[in-house]
Amino acid sequence: MTRVITVASGKGGVGKTTITANLGVALSTYGEETIVLDADVAMANLELILGMEGKSITLHDVLSGAASIEDAIYEGPGGVKIIPAGISLEGLRKIRLDRLEEALEILVENTDILLIDAPAGLEKDALAAIAAAQELILVTTPEVPSISDALKTKIVANKLGVEIIGVVVNREQHDKTFLTVNEIESILEVPVIAVVPDDPEVSRAAAFGEPLIIKNPKSPTSNAIMQLGADLIGEQYHPIEPDKKGVISKLVEGLLGRRG
């Protein structure tokens, strides 16, 4: 049976789309037939992270009735399939969110896991993405405003009857000003299923339009997301340790060889 999992956050800017994109690739590398759907029809970013921008047919075309959902599916990195939202002012005027349900009925017949990248907040499009799922992952940073908005999203998901798998704490920095995992679990009353460290490699990968877990599989974030994917499907994962010699070489190069 196909699993439909929405990845949501109450607050924008917490790294939800980066988590979704890389998690989709991770699940695909484990052999799961995975489709990642960008449901953020107003502020699409998923395709940028996966290097899939500029596709001719997108979710906008599907929701406006101009194309079928099958025409908007593209092969992405690592074998994951991508449905980009696209960016079109004309498309925004014509979309009907009720067509999303029809599209999802087709998708669930042809994949093992459907990941939906929900828009941030609780507007109509975000609610549609949450309601479409059987399961939900909440992404938050360990800061009070982000946790507060995540709590609102959790309450709405509960009312819609969506099972919350757990919370992914993103951009963790071991800073005493941030909430701890225990505090987050106490506030949200949902288990933390992954802690993803703050990692400069995320921005570098985004600049190249390449998923981090492919560009730098040894990074802490890559290991955390691969472990999350493994946990979701009951697989084993052994973290890839950084090349210590490479780290030392970069440090020496930075100190001695790359000035001015």
Its pTM stands at: 0.89
pLDDT value, residue 60:
86
- The span from the CA of 193 to the CA of 28, in Å, is 19
| Cβ-based neighbours of 10, under 8 Å, separated by 6 or more | 120, 121, 122, 138, 140, 146, 148, 149, 150, 151, 152, 153
pLDDT value, residue 237:
95
pLDDT value, residue 249:
58
Per cent of the chain over pLDDT 90 is: 63
pLDDT value, residue 260:
44
Counting Cα atoms < 13 Å in the Cβ hemisphere of 30 gives 25
Does residue 15 register a pLDDT over 90? yes
Which comes out higher in pLDDT, residue 19 or 1? 19
Local confidence band at 175 (pLDDT 50, 70, 90 cut-offs): confident
What is the overall mean pLDDT for the chain? Answer: 89
Task: Give me the long-range contacts of 65-70 (CB less than 8 A, separation at least 24).
Answer: 65/94, 65/96, 65/99, 66/94, 68/106, 69/103, 69/106, 69/107, 70/106
